[in-house]
Amino acid sequence: MAGSTTAVKNLRPFLKAALKAEKESRKLVRAEYRHVGDIVQEEGARLFSKYDAGSAAGFRTVVRQRGVSVEQRKRKTTGTRPDYGALQMRLALLPALDAKEEEVVEAFDRATDAICDHFDRNN
């Protein structure tokens, strides 16, 4: 695997500044970046569904100030596999990010352009 994250410089300050915008703009920023994360979420769920379809259905995209991430939202059920989170990362989420990296970067560029267009229209 080439890398485990796709880093964007100065995303945190931008997301923090977007919090000061009106509600419609905040929703747009979160929605646009959620679509970017959904690319990895869908591929990760597809990859992990052959191991555990229920667990794969629990992957969710989350947009926070520190960035966009794909997380497991289902609660732990038995606790008999303490390495299950690492297993999900190793078998599904990291390979999904690697496989879709170009698509993620392009989608991030389109999302950023759409957000900039929105802010330009409102000024």
Q: Which helix (H) or strand (E) holds 30?
A: helix 23-48
Q: Where are the alpha helices (DSSP H) in 49-100?
A: 53-56, 84-88, 94-99
Asked, for residue 19, whether it belongs to a domain, the answer is yes
Give the pTM.
0.81
Residue 1 has pLDDT above 60, yes or no: no
Instruction: Encode pLDDT of 26-82 as tens digits.
Output: 888 899 999 999 999 999 999 999 999 989 999 999 998 888 899 989 877 667 778
Instruction: Encode pLDDT of 82-114 as tens digits.
Output: 888 888 999 999 999 999 999 999 999 999 899
User: What domain count does the chain have?
Assistant: 1
Asked, for residue 112, whether it belongs to a domain, the answer is yes
Nearest residue to 21 (alpha-carbon basis) of 109, 119, 110, 116: 119
Q: Which domain holds residue 27?
A: 11-75+82-118
